Structures are given as structure tokens and as C-alpha cells.
Amino acid sequence: MKGYGVFLSNLRSSVGLSLEELARLVGTSKSTLSRLENDDIAQPFKGTMRKFVLSLAQVLCTSRRETERYLELAGVDRSLLTDVEEIQVGFLPRIAPGSPDEQTHLERLAYIYKDFLEQLGAKEAEVGISSSPPNLKLKIQEYTNILQEVQKRLDIFDSGEGPKEPSELQAVRIHHAEALEGKIVVGYQYGEELNSDIIKSSLYSLASLNAQWLMQLADIERFAVDDCIILTNSKNFQGWDPNEIKTTVLSTRLPIPDDLEKLKQEKLPVIEKDYFNSSHYRLVSFTPSFSDLDQLEVTLAPLGFHEYYSITPFFDEPLLTALDGSNVSIRQKYGNTALTYSSTDRGTSLIPAPVSIQCVVVTADQQIILMRRSSSVAFYPNHWSASFEETMNAPGLDRKGRPSRSDDADFFAAALRGLEEELAVSQDDVESIKVISLNVEYLTLSMDVIALIKLRLTGEEIRENWIVEAWDRDEASKFALLSAHLPAVVEKLFSRTLWHPTARMRLIQFLFHTYGVKVVASAVKAKQQS
């Protein structure tokens, strides 16, 4: 059918693959691909060529709609696909609990997905895991997720009991979305439950039940404080300088699972009427801290505000369907991928979430700036931050349709832009800036970059700038100063404060950076025992 070659070429270009790279991925020659893209191979495709065409769909198609269009143009009748071929190109079978031969069907499904994962893993290894295309990582993560769900169902037959889900989920009261002034607000009065039992036994037991549940879901253990979980951190929390982080920016957006895409389209009308679709970034991968490389490498992809905010407020509503046909939430179905971003391992997060730069600002007179977020912001109104947050901007258009002037080349550029917009402090007044760590925030699942900024201005000088000159002055309602000395910060950590869910983590990482982990742990233990 005419049009197949052009569509194939468009798919390849959309994921940023050359003919050579794609040929290497699917085990064919550049000339064969070129002939397909030029419609020089007659349809209907048969035998080896048909298998090859289906393998291309598996690697390139990122949604059900794309797959259906691809098969139509390739002259492949879906009704003639085998069960294995349907799974290969992304059509998931539904196996209802209690159906005839349920266990047999599940075991066969597990075998098929394991086989496909091995095949894709081999293809990824062929091109190099750290340089494989992001959509392949997403495909691998989707297969892994489905296999995990199948295995949970099989556990019922093996043990005679239902699979054990993390028990804390139902015990945590989540303020995930409320209407405020006609807009959707995420995290309204969210920190109240975090303060109900703030005295814990040690520094290593400050993780909220939310964070513990998410780590259990992902089968991973990390240092966490409240609802903030560390992905990776600089050595001894001493921070990365600008020349120690290499940033790669993709030109195209990452796809999301079909059911999330459908939900996004349903919720968009609610979001579009109140919020501008500004351009941001999401994290694709990072090089883990155990790497022998002498720098942190991160890969980012563009992400529109509407793309994630149409989904974020509904993370905990049962709007998706599981393999067995039951209703589950986004967090239950895909939350286990929220801590998956490694460039040296398979997979990346299936949930679109922005990069948020979370800055701790220290003044020349050794004060930490605390800001109370105003009641009008979309995330965590009236919560105290240490010191401010700034979503990382990607190239895009402003409200008047002109190219935006606030594109951020890297984490440091975003932090400096936020410093000027939030506090009216210019780059000339910055003594030093370091990125301390990468983290995941439970409620929004955003990737939070904690940065430490030291200034040459005093706290009072910054307060004066903020009051009369800050462009985004209305995003905060109060300005406060906290002594940066260890006893004062530890005392404040355990005060009754409505904290932003990453604020205490930021303060603790500042202490790690300044005093060392062991000294801070001892100070926290002494405070908790007093």
C-alpha cells in the first residue's frame, strides 16, 4: 500500500534513529530498510520479510493508534496475527480471574513476555544500553510491568494466597487534589499528616509511609525524608559543579502508555481553560553515582505542562484497568517505574513528570532563606519551602505565541533563572552553586534536583529585593530566615511546620554537605532523645 514507506521513515525519524542505527537494532541491512522506506518491496509481505516488518512495529510504534496505522499501511490484517504477534506489536490480551485455564494462559503469557524482554535486551545490548533509543527503554519497561502483573497473578496459584501488596497505601490519607479558586490544586494542606508523628528513632527513619510504599512497590531501597526519595547523590553530598554534569536534550517527546494517553485527552479540557501550556523537561535517564565516569550524565526530553498536569491530580483515582479487568490507579499500575531512570540499566519511568529545581539558598551572613508558598500556586499552597522551586523550562512559545526567552540549558541555568525571578537576585551575586542530588517526590512523581546556592548578599538585602523587585513575588506570601548553624537547623527540622514535602530533605542535604553525614546523624539522634 502506498504510504507505508513514508510512514516508516517518519516513525524512524521521530525516535531519532538513522538507517544504520535502526538496521543494527533489528538485525538487518541499511539497504533493506531503505528499500522498505522507498516502497521498493512488494506487498503483501511474507515469510521472513513479514516477521521483519512486525519487528519494526515492535521497536518503532509507541501507541496503539500508531500500531494500527502501521499495520494498515503495511497490508497486515490484524485478524490474521497470531497471539504472539499481537503481543509483539503491543496488543495486550485480557485474562479475567476465574476464566477457564486461567493459570495456563498466564503461564504462556509470562513465557512470551520473558522471551520478548530477552530479545529486546539483546537488541539494546547490541547498540549499547546507555545509547539505546528512549522509546526502546519505554517498551522494555512496559513489558516488564506487564510481566510483573502476570507474575503476581501466578503467585496466587503457587501460594494459594493473593499477592501481597504494600500494606501502607490504604493507611495514608492523601490530599492529592482539591478545587481552589476555580483551579485544580495539588497537595492542598498536604503536609499535615507528615507532622502527626515527627519524632522518629533516627535520621534513617524519617521516610513517610508514602515513600516507603513507593519504594516497596519499586522493590528498591533509598534514603528518604518525608515524601522525598533520593535517586542518586554526589559523593558525600559535596555537589556537582557545572562542568561535572553533561546534559543531553532530546528533540522529541517521549510516548506514554495508551491508557495514560487516553486519560490525558479526557482531562485536558479541564486543564486547558485555567493553565498555560508552558514547555518543560522530563528526565529520561541518568548515569548512576557508582559509575566510573568523572561526571554525572543526564538525558532530558521536552514535556508540556498540560501533558503532565492533566494526569498528576488524578494519580490516586482508580481510572485505569489492570490485566484482570479490575480498576486501579495510575500510581498502583505504573508507580513502580517512578524510580527507574538509569542510563546503564533497562527502562525509564512510564509516568510523565517534570524536572523541578529545588534550591536551598544560603546568605552571606549564614542564613537559610525560607519562603511560604502563596495560596494561589498550583502545587502545595501555603507550605514552607527551603528555599524555592523552579520547573525547568524547555524551548517553546510564550502566551503571545512568541519564542520563549527562558529556556534552560541545564540544571544550573534553571536555578539561576529561578533565583532572579523568585528573589530578584542576579547571577553576579552568586558566590557558588552546586547540584547536590537527584530525587523523586512522591505526590507529583517529579524529578527534583536539589541545588545549593551561596550568595554574597545578606538575608535582609535579599528580603528587600524580594519585596519590591521579584518578578514572581506573588508566588510566595512570607519570607523568613533560619540560621545555617547545625543546632538551629536541627531544631527547625522537628518544629510544627507545614513543610513542602521536600523541604526537610533539602535542609538535611545542606547539613550533609556542610557538616558531614555522621555529624548530622548524631545531632538528629541527640535531638530526638532529648
Q: What is the pLDDT of residues 187-241, one digit of tens each?
A: 777 766 555 555 566 788 889 888 999 999 888 999 999 999 999 999 999 999 9
> Both 199 and 67 in a single domain?
no
Q: Is 103 contained in some domain?
A: no
pLDDT of residue 171: 42
Nearest-angstrom CA–CA distance, 407 and 395 = 5
Q: What is the pTM for the complete model shown?
A: 0.88
pLDDT of residue 23: 87
Residue 446 grid cell: 517529579
Q: Is 291 contained in some domain?
A: no
Angle subtended at Cα 126 by Cα 122 and Cα 132, rounded to the nearest 5 degrees: 95
Among 65, 88, 111, residue at a domain's last position: 88
Half-sphere exposure of 43 (CA within 13 A, CB side): 17
User: Going edge to edge, which strands form the sheet with 245-249?
Assistant: 245-249, 296-304, 279-286
Q: Is 120 contained in some domain?
A: no
pLDDT of residue 341: 87
The closest of 527, 431, 502 to 199, measured between CA atoms, is 527
What's the pLDDT tens digit per position in 132-149? 788 888 888 888 888 888
Q: Say if CB 386 and CB 498 are below 8 A apart.
A: no
Q: Say if CB 486 and CB 520 are below 8 A apart.
A: yes
Alpha helices in 257-355 (DSSP H): 258-272, 305-309, 330-334
Q: Is 332 contained in some domain?
A: no
pLDDT cut 70: percent of the chain above it: 90
Among 31, 59, 88, residue at a domain's last position: 88
Whether residue 44 has a cis bond before it, omega within 30° of 0: yes
* Average per-residue pLDDT for the chain: 86
Q: Is 140 contained in some domain?
A: no
- What's the structural domain count of the chain? 2
Q: Is 488 contained in some domain?
A: yes
Question: In terms of residue numbers, what domain contains 20?
Answer: 4-88
> Both 83 and 194 in a single domain?
no
pLDDT of residue 398: 65
> Both 78 and 195 in a single domain?
no
> Both 519 and 406 in a single domain?
yes
Q: Is 278 contained in some domain?
A: no
**Least-confidence region, from 176-180, 370-374, 415-419, 452-456:** 176-180
Here the CATH number for the domain that contains residue 77 is 1.10.260.40
pLDDT of residue 433: 97
> Both 81 and 226 in a single domain?
no
> Both 195 and 71 in a single domain?
no
10 Å Cβ neighbour count for 183?
15
Here the CATH number for the domain that contains residue 459 is 3.90.79.10
What's the pLDDT tens digit per position in 248-301? 998 888 889 999 999 999 999 888 887 888 899 999 999 877 777 778 999 999
Among 46, 68, 88, residue at a domain's last position: 88
Q: Is 260 contained in some domain?
A: no
Q: Say if CB 491 and CB 461 are below 8 A apart.
A: no
The pLDDT of residue 164 is above 80: no
Q: Say if CB 403 and CB 395 are below 8 A apart.
A: yes
pLDDT of residue 195: 56
